[in-house]
Chain A
Amino acid sequence: MKKIIKYIIADILRSKIIIGYAVLLLMISLTVFNLQPSSGKGLLSLISIVLIIVPLISIIFSTIYIYNSREFIELMVSQPIKRKTIWLSFYMGISAAMSLAFVIGVGLPVMIYSCNAIGILLIIVGVLQTLTFISIAMLAAVYSKDKARGIGIGVLIWLYFSLIFDGFVLFLLFQFQDYQIDKLALILTGLNPIDISRILLLLKMDASALMGYTGAVFRASMGGQAGILTGIVDLLAWIGIPLWLSLRKFGKKDL
């Protein structure tokens, strides 16, 4: 497995897109920190940008990479290697390369300009976010044979989590504002990996005014250590479940 991961990482680095991604993140981070007078404000802007760009690039890059590696996958499948090993190697290879790009692009500037608990949490959440959306991308790629459709599904999933879902929750909260629905809102937010990441970070930052409606109910229930832990467990489930489903499907797929 290690050997296959090594070849996948080498292949990804050869395409240079991942280097462009790291440079883009680096430029954004440096600009944000240099434009804002205080590093706290810089971090806040960076969180908003990271929560949009990281899921988008992760999901699109991984879907395209999986489709472009069809030949590579076929070559591996005709060797005496378990399909599970092949698929997991792909996941780990893409994850390693993209996480590395994120750590260089965002982690490094954060460490320089704002090395505190929130900064470290941002790096952790960003990496978890990357892993989540690669996992979702691989699920989309394994279920659709057609490349254009697979990428389309990926973009739709991103759009759903970053825009449509919030609109839906907002609508629900307004409609039922006369009722006690804090618990429901909590559960609903757990169903969106981007929301849960945003809440984790903003609660830590003490910037509840910027959290919007979705996050407002979280102050009481998720403020403490237990809240952060719950959020991270939720994100881990977002990584594990799609990956497990895609593994099951790939094991039985006709190539």
Chain B
Amino acid sequence: MISIQQLTKTFGKLTALDQISTELPDSTCLALIGPNGSGKTTLAKSILGIVHPDKGQIIYKGKNIIGDFAFKSSIGYMPQIGRYPENMTIGQILDMIKDIRGEKHLDEDLSDAFSLNKLLHKTMRSLSGGTTQKVSAALAFLFDPEVLMLDEPTAGLDPVAQGILKEKILLEKSKGKLIVITSHILSELDDLVSAVLYMQEGKLLFNKTIEQLREQTGQVRLSSAIAQIMQSNPIS
């Protein structure tokens, strides 16, 4: 479980995160949604330690993980646009990360399912967006992390690969992991997520489970439920 307390981050005059306090429980697939520029990515990057928050704490297993590099061994990150050293091949990237991490326990389900072993000799420069996404996904799941942060995971993937990734996400969730997905495509989240965290202009509007949302709105589909909430609570 990750507990976020009073997290604040400003970029110059822009307040990207405004005193966010919430909890992300285990065995949950949480959707982090909100309009563009609402602070979703900043929140995700703060948890990952890529962005340093100005104030507040992020507590994982009783420890504040801001500035703690060791925590990253229990988190897997799939960026929205994976960017890798261009003149390295897929094989070299995978080997390098494995070599640097030096961990024996590997989860290679995804690279097998995406049949990445047939593409190992291709350089990152020559890959299509979708294949790069497959590499990102394979890397995020590779070390069997307890927390997964997926930024727009299915954008750019073909339907077959989307299906593989979704199945994998559900499998990991059933193992008790915390999975955070940022996405704009609400319809594809329907059968995946069990809770929704909605952000707007750097503020947290709500963090509710799917059941709570369905009860509140009477809608079965996530997209309709969110749409109804946004219409009934017009935010200035």
Closest Cβ of chain B to A88, distance in Å, is: 14
A75 neighbours in B (Cβ, 8 Å): 83-85, 93, 97
Q: Are A78's CB and B48's CB within 8 A?
A: yes
Among B51, B52, B72, contact of A79 (Cβ-Cβ < 8 Å): B72
CA distance A79 to B98 in the complex (A): 11
- Beyond A3-B99, A3-B100, A7-B96, is A77–B50 a contact (Cβ under 8 Å)? yes
A82 neighbours in B (Cβ, 8 Å): 69
Among B51, B86, B99, contact of A71 (Cβ-Cβ < 8 Å): B86
Question: Does B77 lie at the interface of the complex (its beta carbon under 8 Å from any beta carbon of A)?
Answer: yes
Question: Does B175 lie at the interface of the complex (its beta carbon under 8 Å from any beta carbon of A)?
Answer: no
CB closest residue in chain B, given A78: B77
Interface centre among B73, B84, B100 (most CB of A within 10 A): B100
Interface positions of B from 93 to 119, Cβ below 8 Å from A: 93, 96-97, 99-101
Question: Does B87 lie at the interface of the complex (its beta carbon under 8 Å from any beta carbon of A)?
Answer: yes
Among A69, A79, A255, contact of B85 (Cβ-Cβ < 8 Å): A69
Among B49, B71, B83, B99, contact of A70 (Cβ-Cβ < 8 Å): B83
Query: CB-defined interface of B75-93 with A at 8 Å, one 1/0 digit per residue?
Result: 0010100011111100001
Question: Does A37 lie at the interface of the complex (its beta carbon under 8 Å from any beta carbon of B)?
Answer: no
Question: Does B70 lie at the interface of the complex (its beta carbon under 8 Å from any beta carbon of A)?
Answer: yes
Q: How many residues on B have C-beta within 8 angstroms of the other chain's C-beta atoms?
A: 26
Interface centre among B71, B73, B96 (most CB of A within 10 A): B96
- Beyond A71-B84, A75-B85, A80-B71, is A255–B51 a contact (Cβ under 8 Å)? yes
Q: Are B85's CB and A72's CB within 8 A?
A: yes
CA distance A14 to B52 in the complex (A): 33
CA distance A72 to B48 in the complex (A): 16
CB closest residue in chain B, given A71: B83
Closest Cβ of chain A to B182, distance in Å, is: 15
Interface positions of A from 40 to 89, Cβ below 8 Å from B: 69-72, 74-83
CB closest residue in chain A, given B101: A79
Between A and B, 10 residue pairs with Cβ closer than 8 Å are A3-B99, A7-B96, A11-B87, A14-B87, A75-B85, A79-B72, A82-B69, A83-B69, A254-B45, A254-B50
Interface residues of B (CB under 8 A from A): 11, 45, 48-52, 69-73, 77, 79, 83-88, 93, 96-97, 99-101
